[in-house]
Amino acid sequence: AQTVTQSQPEMSVQEAETVTLSCTYDTSESDYYLFWYKQPPSRQMILVIRQEAYKQQNATENRFSVNFQKAAKSFSLKISDSQLGDAAMYFCASMDSNYQLIWGAGTKLIIKP
């Protein structure tokens, strides 16, 4: 079965600095999708960024970018110029061959003003 591991339960960063959240996954699929979702205190799950495994180019969405290392099965999220509104739980997820999302346990990101 696929697994997704987020080894950092909590991370903190100074406002305007850069932070990287780690995620590793295990899959036997050759083609799959990876996601980062953000869950602020309101608890609504918000899509941050999406990566297609067959694409070598790392996905980027404004201040958010990923470092996708397919061979190492690593999918880290980099947040540049951190803002107070970035404070949230961040979940990494992969999609299996049945189109079901496999979720990591989450990383709580704290932004220090």
Partner 1 sequence: SQTIHQWPATLVQPVGSPLSLECTVEGTSNPNLYWYRQAAGRGLQLLFYSVGIGQISSEVPQNLSASRPQDRQFILSSKKLLLSDSGFYLCAWSGQGPIPTDTQYFGPGTRLTVL
For binding to partner 1 (CB under 8 A), which residues are involved? 33, 35, 37, 42-47, 50, 52, 91, 95, 99-101, 103-106
40: nearest Cα among 86, 107, 93? 86
Instruction: Please identify, using beta-carbon distances, which residue of 14 and 58 lies nearer to partner 1.
Output: 58
Instruction: Please identify, using beta-carbon distances, which residue of 16 and 105 lies nearer to partner 1.
Output: 105
State the minimum distance, in angstroms, from the CB of residue 34 to partner 1.
10
Paired residues of 102 in beta bridges = 94
CB atoms within 10 A of CB 35: 21
State the minimum distance, in angstroms, from the CB of residue 55 to partner 1.
12
State the minimum distance, in angstroms, from the CB of residue 74 to partner 1.
19
State the minimum distance, in angstroms, from the CB of residue 16 to partner 1.
28
Instruction: Please identify, using beta-carbon distances, which residue of 19 and 89 lies nearer to partner 1.
Output: 89
Q: Would you call 44 helix, strand, or coil by DSSP?
A: coil
Q: Would you call 35 helix, strand, or coil by DSSP?
A: strand
Burial class (CB in 10 A: 0-12, 13-18, 19+), 19: buried
